[in-house]
Structure 1
Amino acid sequence: KNADKPFIIHLANGTVKVLGTSFNIRAYDNEKFIETSVATGKVAFIPKKATGNKQDTVFLTVDKKVRYLFTKEEAYVEPTISAEDIAWIGGKLVFKAMAFDEIGLELERNFGKKVVFLSDSARQFRLTGSFQNNSLDEILFYLSKSTEFKYKINNDEVLISDVSTKLP
């Protein structure tokens, strides 16, 4: 941490300038957004299409996060619990009213199996849960108790559908 010597992280659709802090960046090629949150200190997020004016820069402080949506080229700042944003470091997965398709991407990254939604309605379910070192089957089992959906785990993929769609 040295506020006098910030370092810069260049992302595909923006730049994060670190100003003496601890933080988290979520930026995956298969997602439609970048997310940056701050645990301590301060960071500046500069969208790739920024003009260089200061008003293009989003400054974040403790327990704030910015989500930059590629499709709209807009940044949204909201409060967050930074400890949850960095929970993955300790093997913990935290989902708070998260769309199931986003959870699917997290599960793909953590378990190495492609998540395939067989119904669009299941993709939109909003789910909440916190898991520490659980298996993929345990996570899906517990999530399915809060919102009814069906799932099947194969060798290299996970099939998910709403209750009215038949699994192969």
Structure 2
Amino acid sequence: MLRFRIARCIFNFQKQKLMPSDQYKRIEQLLEKYRDKSISYEEYLELFEYIGNKEYKKAIFEIMDQRYRTLNPDADVHDIDWDNMYRQIAHENGHGKNSFWRPLRYLAAAVTLIIISYSIHKFYIRNSVKGTENQVAVTDVAPGSDKATLTLSDGSRLELNENKKGELAEQGVTRINQVSGAITYVPENTDVTAQDVMFNTLTTPRGGKYHVVLSDGSKVWLNAESSLTFPAHFSGPQRKVILTGEGYFEVAKNKEMPFIVEVGDAQVKVLGTHFNIMAYQDEKVLKTTLLEGSINFSRNNQNRVIAPGQQVQYTVDKQGFTIYKADMEAAMAWKNGLFVFNDTRIDDIMKSIQRWYNVDVVYNNDKPDISYTGVIPRSANLSKVLTVLESAGNVKFEIKGNMVTCSKK
């Protein structure tokens, strides 16, 4: 049974340049591997590129017609209703849930098109409604990129982007260097007292992300609309930073100097580990997910040690917190260049879209009461993301400038 771990996936696949007859055979081979569940992730991406290219559409349909059009209602989850590959993505009538990606938990992202895989016991659809593909009007918006603002201890601000490189500034005994999409704090002297500590703040806007290597070697990736406040050089009995929004941490080990992340009224204490914190204030549920090592999570005088594969969830307006088994793919999706939805409501999806594409979303009348399960690359332009959502559900979108209007069909 196939399962892919997104954190290890590679998206810069380049398909082989083949002669037309070889291309036909290659497509046929990839479809057979998909059917037999022996396809690798790289082969998935290759298949997706072929299907996303209209040049190969006729050949693909010929192969489908020859080999794959008949489905068994009792077939395994990986069997496909090929008729729906290029047409409107069917939805489960009457349940308000839409799936454009479902082999057990997750499948993979297409470069320009999502391939549909249906769980046959829920989505056995032989002759779905025919029609033209939905088109999102009118303009388009590019995805986010590496950009941020660094505020130094004296209040001065440096605008960062993916193109700048070299030495940016000095903060006391620490030199700040910039490489593509990241800044690095390099201490030149470890003899620093608490009185000498200078605090900096790295802030990503909507449509931005950035990466910082702190003076102790710890690494932090910030998602869009997030901030991290930290000392230019750690001093004293602990390493303490303050997070808003979302960040992924790879903390350098130091048993003598625990690393503490303060996020609102909660605190995460570690010695050295990898974890993700999602703490946007407009989200209903705030989450801390542990990938490896261990953390001590505390809030309102409650403390718990969290194990790898666990996730802490809590809401701002309620006391305490709850520990669940983590959905690791979903928690790490943003860092790995993906939107991952697992029965996710449309309004929660649109919050992520607002942050990454720097747009505002408005709803005509009531918000559509639908949920999605699927994956879309964050590298796609906004119109492609909305086209997938529009095809899969009873919604339609219109883009005007930086405004997206969402309506029921």
TM-score range, shorter chain: 0.7 to 0.9
Instruction: Write the mapping of 1:39-54 to structure 2, written as runs, cut at 5 A.
Output: 39-47=291-299, 50-51=300-301
Q: 1:162 and 1:18, CA in 2 relative to 1: closer, same or farther beyond 3 A?
A: farther
Alpha-carbon distance between aligned partners in 2 of 1:80 and 1:102, rounded to the nearest angstrom: 18
Q: 1:36 and 1:151, CA in 2 relative to 1: closer, same or farther beyond 3 A?
A: same
Aligned to 1:127: 372
Alpha-carbon distance between aligned partners in 2 of 1:120 and 1:46, rounded to the nearest angstrom: 38
What is the CA-CA distance between 1:38 and the residue it aligns to?
0.9
Aligned to 2:325: 79
Aligned to 2:259: 7
Higher gyration radius (CA): 2
What is the CA-CA distance between 1:8 and the residue it aligns to?
0.7
Matched, 1:26 2:278: yes
| 1:76 alignment partner AA | T
Deviations 1:101-153 (A, max 9, x none): 1111110111000112224341x422122112222111111122222111111
Instruction: Write the mapping of 1:130-145 to structure 2, written as runs, cut at 5 A.
Output: 130-132=375-377, 133-145=379-391
Q: 1:107 and 1:57, CA in 2 relative to 1: closer, same or farther beyond 3 A?
A: same
Matched, 1:61 2:313: no
Over the residues paired in the alignment, what is the CA RMSD in angstroms?
A: 1.9
CA contact (8 A) 2:329 2:340 kept: no
Please state whether the residue corresponding to 2:335 is helix, strand or coil: helix
Alpha-carbon distance between aligned partners in 2 of 1:82 and 1:117, rounded to the nearest angstrom: 31
Aligned to 1:91: 337
- TM-score, reference length from structure 1: 0.82
Please state whether the residue corresponding to 1:90 is helix, strand or coil: coil
Deviations 1:57-92 (A, max 9, x none): 233222211111112234222112324312212321
Please state whether the residue corresponding to 1:8 is helix, strand or coil: strand
Which structure is higher in strand share? 1
What is the CA-CA distance between 1:37 and the residue it aligns to?
0.4
CA contact (8 A) 2:269 2:297 kept: yes
CA contact (8 A) 1:36 1:65 kept: yes
Alpha-carbon distance between aligned partners in 1 of 2:323 and 2:366, rounded to the nearest angstrom: 28
CA contact (8 A) 1:64 1:77 kept: yes
CA contact (8 A) 1:100 1:127 kept: yes
Please state whether the residue corresponding to 1:88 is helix, strand or coil: coil
Aligned to 1:106: 352
Structure 1 regions of 5+ residues with no counterpart? 164-168
Alpha-carbon distance between aligned partners in 1 of 2:346 and 2:407, rounded to the nearest angstrom: 11
- TM-score, reference length from structure 2: 0.36
CA contact (8 A) 1:39 1:83 kept: no
Alpha-carbon distance between aligned partners in 2 of 1:157 and 1:97, rounded to the nearest angstrom: 25
Please state whether the residue corresponding to 2:397 is helix, strand or coil: strand
Please state whether the residue corresponding to 2:334 is helix, strand or coil: helix
Alpha-carbon distance between aligned partners in 2 of 1:30 and 1:81, rounded to the nearest angstrom: 21
Matched, 1:17 2:269: yes
CA contact (8 A) 1:19 1:44 kept: no
Deviates more, 1:79-88 or 1:23-32: 79-88
What is the CA-CA distance between 1:6 and the residue it aligns to?
2.3
Aligned to 1:38: 290
Identical-residue share of aligned pairs (%):
27
Alpha-carbon distance between aligned partners in 1 of 2:390 and 2:322, rounded to the nearest angstrom: 30
Structure 2 regions of 5+ residues with no counterpart? 1-251
Q: 1:150 and 1:84, CA in 2 relative to 1: closer, same or farther beyond 3 A?
A: same
Matched, 1:157 2:409: no
Alpha-carbon distance between aligned partners in 1 of 2:322 and 2:364, rounded to the nearest angstrom: 31
| 1:125 alignment partner AA | I
